[in-house]
Amino acid sequence: MSENEKKIEEACNVWHTWFEDDTHDYSESEASDIEYFVGVMMYNHFAFSKALSTMKTMDVGLDFKNAAGSAYLEVYDLIGSIKSDDELELLALLQNHIKQALEKYENDRMACYLLDRLSNHIKTLAGLYAGKLDKRDIDFERMAMKQGL
């Protein structure tokens, strides 16, 4: 396991431990939300140059952020310490994080709703990097209909 992968795992563990305390609960929480929000923080921190202009950043839900309390900054610092000038390396790191999280929750459609959304977005981003997609050809409505959303 690489140092960056260890940081991601530690970030997930910090939040899983924090949210074991029921007083830190937030609306409509799922255990997989931890991996989702870590993935969102990674996406935002990596600032992918090929991201669509309308998707340069993603929101970390305010109710989640408030419930995360002081643990939020700890995770923010861990993710912020991940460095690389190679965007493809960072993309692979994020893809691996999502893949492992989906496997962890056995691809349960209800439990992994947010992870699935993030995964689909990152697959589109990977297609842009691979030259398989052109930003001008991306139609979110059509893509949502194909996925049955």
Domain ranges in the chain? 3-146
Predicted confidence band at 78 (pLDDT cuts at 50, 70, 90)? very high
pLDDT by residue (tens digit) across 12-60? 999 999 999 989 988 888 889 999 999 999 999 999 999 988 888 999 8
DSSP string, the chain: --HHHHHHHHHHHHHHHHHTSGGG--TT--TTHHHHHHHHHHHHHHT-TTS-GGGS-----HHHHHHHHHHHHHHHHHHHT---S-HHHHHHHHHHHHHHHHHHTTT-TTTTHHHHHHHHHHHHHHHHHTTS--GGG--HHHHHHHTT-
Q: Share the mean pLDDT of the chain.
A: 90
- Using pLDDT thresholds of 50, 70 and 90, give the confidence band for residue 143: low
Q: Percent of the chain, pLDDT > 70?
A: 91
User: Which pTM was predicted?
Assistant: 0.89
149: pLDDT strictly greater than 70? no
Please tell me the predicted confidence (pLDDT) of residue 28: 80
Please report the pLDDT score of residue 6 as a whole number: 97
Instruction: Write down the pLDDT at residue 99.
Output: 97
